Chains A and B, each alone.
Chain A
C-alpha cells in the first residue's frame, strides 16, 4: 500500500507541475533567505572578531585626553614622556611588553612615487605588542633605536604603493628632508576593525621620529600588552593610579588620560554585529514566514480544488488513510525537496556573497536545520490537515464540492 500510495503521490506531483513548483518556490525562497542572511551575519561577526584579535591580544592603550576618536579632548592634556613609559614598565608587574608611540601623517616618496601614510615611532616592543610579524628583513638594532637612525619597517600597502613588485629591503624612502633605509617588511594584516588599512604604516625608532619629525620628546600613546587576560582589570586600575600620581591629578579631579582595552573594543563591536545578525535574522524570518503563508495558501487552495478528486478516490474504494497518506507524501516530498533546494541555493548564495563581501563563509548547521524543519513542517501541516477534512466527508459530499 505504501509503495502504491507513493506512486500515486509522485504521479500527482508530476501531473501538476506548476502547482508543485509554486508550492516549492515559497519554501525555497524562505529557506534560502533565512540561511543566507544568518550565515552572512555570522561571517561578519567572525570577521570582526578576527580583526579585533589582530589588534593584539590583551592589549591596553593609554592615551592623553579623555575620549577616543573625533572630538577627543587632547588639548590641555599633556603628552607622556619616556619616563612615564619606563615607570609603567617597571612598576606594574602584569605588563609583558610596552611600546611608547608617536605618530605623524606624512607623505613619503620613493622612486618618484608619493604616498601619504602614517609614520609611527616606537621601539621593537611595538611589533610584539601589536602581534606584528616580519615578512622580510629585521627589526631595529639597539644602536638604531638608541641613536635615532634613519631606518624604517614598512607595511604591505606602503610597499605596494612605493615599490610595486620590487623587494624594498635595502632601498630607501624620503620623508620630508631626510632619506630613510627600509630594513623590514611587515606581514599583511588587512583591514582593522574600524575599517582602516592596518598595512598602511611606516615604523621608525621612537627617537628618529621625535628628533626629525616632531621635534620634541613627547609620547602620544603607550601600547601595553598584559601577561594574563585575567589581570587586565587590575592592571588597568594600577596604571590609572600610577598615571594620576605622575600627572599630579588631585583627588576628585577627572583623569586627563584614558586606558583603553582591546577586549572592550571587541565586545562593543561584536555586540553591534550580533544586533545586526539578529536584525537580519528577523528580516529573514519574516520572509520565511511569508514563504510559509504562501505554502499554506497553495496547499489550502489545492486541497479545496482537489476535494472532488478525494471524492472520486473514496468512491472508487480508497480508504481514508490511503487518501491521507497520499496527500501527506505529496506534502512531504514537495516541502523537503523545496527545503533541500533552498539549502543548496543558500549555500551557493552565501559562499558567493561572502567572497564578494570578503567575509569568511561559516556553515551554520543549526539555522539550516531550523529553516528546513520549519518549512517542511508548514508544508506537511497545511498539506495534511485540509486533506484530512476532505477525506472525512462522505464520498458524495466530497464529490458535490464546488
Chain B
C-alpha cells in the first residue's frame, strides 16, 4: 500500500500541541502537549472518554482551529505559519472533514451539498455533477441527489456528509464520530465505506469514535485521556 515517499515523511505530525480555550480565569486547557504521527494510507481511530480532547485535536488536524502552542506539520509544512487563506486552501485541496453534527447546508439538495467543495475548487459544471454523483453512489445514495437534508434520515445525512468530504479525493479524511448518531447496522455500513475508501482510494482516515466495534475497523487506535495521548494500539494483524 505505502508505495510512495510518504513512508519516510509522515503525512501528519503533531509535536507538543496544546490548546487552551478561553482566557484568564475561565480558560481551560483541553490539550496538554500531544505528539502524534500519521503516515499516508493509515486508518486511525481516536478513542477516549468524553471531554478528553478528541474533537479538539481533530479540529486542529482539520485546520478548522489553531493550536495554542506546539507545531503541526502537514506533509512537512508547518501549518501554524500559514495564514487564513493558505489554511483554507489546504482544507480545500487536501482535507475532507465529516462533522460530529452533519453540518449540511439546509434547504440545499444532497447533490448541491456534495458539489459545494468542487465549486470552490473552480471545477466545471459537468465535472461537478459527475463527481458528486459518483461520490453519492459510493456512499450508496444513488438517486437521492435531489433530496434536501430534511428529507433524508440521519444515516443518509451522515453519508451525504461523507460524500461531500470525499468528493475532492482528499489525502486525509477526518471524521468526528461519523457513527455517533446511527444505529449499529448503519454504523457498520459507514465503517465498511471508510475501510473501502482507505483501501481502494488510498485515503488516509482518522476517525473519532466511542464504540470499540467501530474502532475495530482501524489499523491503529489512539487512546486519549485528559488532553494527552494515553496509548496507541496497533491492530495490524486484522483482515
Contacts and interface: CB of A to CB of B under 8 A. Distances in A.
B97 A315 contact: yes
Interface residues of A, number: 25
A318 interface: yes
Interface string A297-329: 000000000001101111111111110000000
Interface string B74-106: 000000000011001101110101010001111
A308 B103 contact: yes
Contacts of A316: 91-92, 97, 116-117, 120, 164
Contacts of A267: none
Nearest to B168: A317
Interface in A359-402: 394-396, 399
Nearest to A391: B84
Nearest to A11: B112
A319 B64 contact: no
B66 A317 contact: no
B103 A399 contact: yes
Contact of B88 (A16, A309, A319, A399): A319
Contact of B122 (A1, A16, A314): A1
A315 B120 contact: no
B120 A320 contact: no
B135 to A, nearest CB: 13
Interface string B8-34: 000000000000000000000000000
Nearest to B96: A316
B17 to A, nearest CB: 15
B119 A8 contact: yes
B108 interface: yes
A252 to B, nearest CB: 88
Given A8-B119, A11-B112, A317-B120, A394 B88 contact: no
B107 A319 contact: no
Contacts of B105: 309, 312
Nearest to B59: A396
Contacts of B116: 313, 316
A317 B85 contact: no
Interface residues of B, number: 29
B65 A315 contact: no
Nearest to A15: B107
Contacts of B122: 1, 4
B62 interface: yes
A319 B107 CA distance: 22
B99 A317 contact: no
Contacts of B99: 315, 399
B64 A317 contact: no
B88 A317 contact: yes
Nearest to B92: A317
Contacts of B112: 11
A317 B62 CA distance: 11
A320 B84 contact: yes
Contact of A394 (B64, B95, B108, B121): B64
A16 B148 CA distance: 14
Nearest to A8: B119
A1 B123 CA distance: 10
B65 A312 contact: no
A395 B59 CA distance: 9
Contact of B107 (A1, A16, A394, A396): A16
A395 B107 CA distance: 21
Nearest to A322: B120
Interface string B110-153: 00100011011110000000000000000000000000000000
A96 to B, nearest CB: 77
Nearest to B55: A396
Contacts of B121: 317
Given A314-B88, A316-B92, A319-B85, A394 B119 contact: no
A151 to B, nearest CB: 83
Interface string A63-76: 00000000000000
A7 to B, nearest CB: 8
A361 to B, nearest CB: 43
A1 B85 CA distance: 15
B103 A394 contact: no
A285 B91 CA distance: 48
Interface in A325-366: none
Given A8-B119, A313-B116, A319-B89, 12 more contacts: A11-B112, A15-B108, A315-B64, A315-B97, A317-B117, A318-B92, A319-B85, A394-B65, A395-B65, A396-B65, A399-B64, A399-B103
Q: Which 10 A-B pairs have the closest CB atoms?
A: A317-B92, A396-B64, A317-B91, A395-B64, A396-B65, A316-B117, A318-B120, A319-B88, A396-B59, A15-B107
22 contacts: A4-B119, A11-B112, A15-B107, A308-B103, A311-B103, A312-B103, A312-B104, A313-B120, A315-B64, A315-B99, A317-B89, A317-B92, A318-B92, A319-B85, A319-B89, A319-B120, A320-B84, A322-B120, A395-B64, A395-B65, A396-B59, A396-B64
Interface of B: 59, 62, 64-66, 84-85, 88-89, 91-93, 95, 97, 99, 103-108, 112, 116-117, 119-122, 164
